[in-house]
Amino acid sequence: MAISDGLGQAFYYGGYDLSGDTGSADDIGGGLVGTQDITTIDLSAFKRIGLLRDGRISWGAFFNDATGRAHERLGALPTADRHLMWATGAVIGDPAACLVGKQINYDFTRPQDGSLTIAVNAQGNAFGLEWGDLLTAGKRTDTAATNGTAAEFGYDGEDFLFLSGASGNYASTPDAASLDIVGDLDLRVRVALDDWTPAAESTLIAKYTATGNQRSYALAVTATGALIFRWSEDGTVEKTETSSAVNTFTNGSTHWVRATMDVNNGASDAAVNFYTSEDGSTWTALGAEQLNGATTSIFASTAVLELGSQTAGTVNRLAGKVFRAQVLSGIGGTSVAAPIASTSSITDATPLTWTVQGTAYLSSHTVHGAQAYLQAFSFAGTDVTVKLQHSHDNGSTDAFADITGGAFTQITSGPTVERIAVAAGTEIKRYVRAVTVTTGGFTSLVFAVAVNVNVTAVTF
């Protein structure tokens, strides 16, 4: 995207396209109408909380008394809510300002130069102004049930490596001298397991390959929900310590987990500690310290460092999302690997080069739901339902599926409009599309949909 101007826009009002009768937008605004000062005497700067949300669209209309045009729709001075959608373009993904509001005027101006313009204002009701993204290229005409093209949403900071649990799906970086840590070690992973008590042990991060006996270290979640740290002193003999407590995480939720290995705790022993965290900086112990019974060391193997499995994507595979990970040499020591999933690759500033293997892929999502607006301009047929579907990778390996709560009410006549809210807590994947389905058949639906995916929690 680049800086663009206001040409080629569109304005939809209550299921009517008034673009051709609209000359200007004087104010498309919203947000907080005010704040309340809650500064206490022990503060050195103002502290405020936001009050109500609001929205408004003010625009300049031309006089057009044809059926379905500006005068007929606006001159009626409706008192019921009207749905307004101001599209900044006609390409899927173009932003659109959406408002449910009251039209409060329709004011003629006829100056002495003979021109004729009309000022119209709408004030928000209940929701304020929301900026969504178009899921239709301007107005879309479907003549049968259609899937449509998806819009890609970049959810900043929430990119992840998606692992299905299938063999060969993982991400790896080649063996490197810096990864051959033979002493104290600190492994950290931010991850969302589909099942936090998985059917089989699920590896989070590992430099651990059975092939050729190249075992160094690995961190995994056991079937009971405990963390397990695996290592080998010689590459062949496996040693493990398992956390004495199990996680209580909700399946699919995202958390940091961590294991530290102190190869010599000063008491002729080696200690493994397990932790969890919500922010990656404040760590809560998961169970008690586990002692090996003797000091130890870690084998410097030739194995790759991999996310989501061991032995090159074949053993103890993880099903879920890996957001980032860290390998530290020394407990809280030097970072030697720091993969972070991003839009199109796994970045690692240490630096290491990571490769996504198999059909694993990078995606992003939010878990804060969405709001969607529908403007249906005309309909012919028995019925049609417009609904939202999403996919992690545009349907390549993750098939499009309905978004829970993401269906508009069945349409049996037009024009019609609707706003729906997908509940907060609902996952919205990276690619979202608007599809039409029918039970009784239809011959034509002309409509536009914009969706506002929440990247943070939103309350109305």
Partner 1 sequence: MADLDLVAYRAVAMSHAQGLGMFEQVLGHEPVSAPGSGLIYALWVSDIAPIPARSNLNSVSVRLELTGLVLTPADGQPEDDVDVAVTGAVNGLMREYCGDFTLGGTVANIDLLGAHGPSLRAKLGYARFDSTTYRAATLTIPLIINAAWNEVP
Asked if 1 touches partner 1 (CB under 8 A), the answer is: no
Sign of CA dihedral 177, 178, 184, 190: negative
Other beta carbons within 10 angstroms of residue 294's beta carbon come to: 9
Residue count, binding to partner 1 (CB under 8 A)? 21
Using CB under 8 A, pick the residue from 33, 38, 91, 457 that binds partner 1: 91
User: Residue 10, CB half-sphere, CA atoms under 13 Å: how many?
Assistant: 22
Q: Which helix (H) or strand (E) holds 74?
A: helix 70-74
d(CA 274, CA 286): 5
Q: Which stretch binds partner 1 (CB under 8 A): 30-38, 110-118, 284-292, 295-303?
A: 110-118
Give the footprint of partner 1 on residues 285-324 (CB under 8 A): none
**Collapsed DSSP state (helix, strand, coil) of residue 21:** helix
Of 89 and 369, CB closest to partner 1: 89
Instruction: Find, among 306, 307, 297, 315, the residue nearest to 210 by Cα.
Output: 315
Contact stretch for partner 1 (CB under 8 A) within 85-93, 197-205, 209-217, 437-445: 85-93
Tell me the residue type at 402: D
Query: Of 35, 39, 115, 211, which one interacts with partner 1 (CB under 8 A)?
Result: 115
Q: CB of 102: closest distance to partner 1 in angstroms?
A: 22
Q: Which of 15, 16, 22, 337 binds partner 1 (CB under 8 A)?
A: 22
* Piece of 21-29, 240-248, 403-411, 441-449 that binds partner 1 (CB under 8 A): 21-29
* Interface with partner 1, residue 141, by CB under 8 A: no
Cα–Cα distance, 277 to 256 (Å, whole number): 5
H or E, element range at 76: none
Q: Which stretch binds partner 1 (CB under 8 A): 111-119, 145-153, 230-238, 446-454?
A: 111-119
Looking at the chain, the number of H-run helices and the number of E-run strands are: 1, 38
List 23, 78, 174, 212, residue binding partner 1 (CB under 8 A):
23
Q: Is 14 in the site for partner 1 (CB under 8 A)?
A: no
Task: Name which of 221, 210, 24, 228 is nearest 115 in CA terms.
Answer: 24
Q: How far is the CB of 151 from partner 1 (least distance, A)?
A: 17
Q: Exposed, middle or buried: residue 45 (CB in 10 Å: 0-12, 13-18, 19+)?
A: exposed
Q: What are phi and psi of 163, to 5 degrees?
A: -120, 130
45, 49, 65, 114: residue in contact with partner 1 (rule CB under 8 A): 114
CB of 459 to partner 1, least distance (A): 33
The structure tokens listed for 82 are 């009207």
Residue 89 touching partner 1 (CB under 8 A): yes
> Which window, 87-95, 182-190, 288-296, 304-312, contacts partner 1 (CB under 8 A)?
87-95
- Binding residue (CB under 8 A) for partner 1 from 14, 21, 171, 220: 21
Count of other CB atoms within 10 angstroms of residue 420: 19
- Residue 458 parent element (H or E): none
> Binding of partner 1 at residue 20 (CB under 8 A)?
yes
- The residue to which tokens 């969302």 are assigned: 192
Amino acid identity of residue 14, one-letter, is G
Does residue 65 belong to the site contacting partner 1 (CB under 8 A)? no
Query: In this chain, which of 7, 52, 199, 267 binds partner 1, going by CB under 8 A?
Result: 7
Residue of 8, 168, 252, 395 that binds partner 1 (CB under 8 A): 8
Which of 56, 69 has the CB closer to partner 1? 69
Closest CA to 228 of 237, 236, 219: 219
- Of the candidates 36, 44, 79, 112, which one interacts with partner 1 according to CB under 8 A? 112
Q: What are phi and psi of 179, to 5 degrees?
A: -85, -10
The answer to whether 36 and 48 have CB atoms below 8 angstroms apart is yes
Instruction: Return d(Cα 295, Cα 356) in angstroms, integer.
Output: 36
Q: Smallest gap, in angstroms, from Cβ of residue 6 to partner 1?
A: 8
CB of 137 to partner 1, least distance (A): 12
Q: CB under 8 A: which stretch of 16-24, 177-185, 291-299, 352-360 binds partner 1?
A: 16-24
Q: Which amino acid is at 380?
A: A
- Beta carbon nearer to partner 1, 5 or 156: 5
User: Of 7-15, 26-34, 100-108, 157-165, which part binds partner 1 (CB under 8 A)?
Assistant: 7-15
Which span sits near partner 1 by CB under 8 A: 8-16, 76-84, 145-153, 371-379? Answer: 8-16
Rule CB under 8 A: is residue 19 a binding residue for partner 1?
Answer: yes
* CA–CA dist 35, 54 (Å, integer): 13
62 touches partner 1 (CB under 8 A): yes
**CB-wise, 12 or 153, nearer to partner 1?**
12
66 interacts with partner 1 by CB under 8 A = no
273-290 burial string, b = 16+ CB within 10 Å, else e?
bbbbeeeeeebeebeebb
Q: Which residues bind partner 1 (CB under 8 A)?
A: 4, 7-11, 19-23, 62, 89-91, 111-115, 117
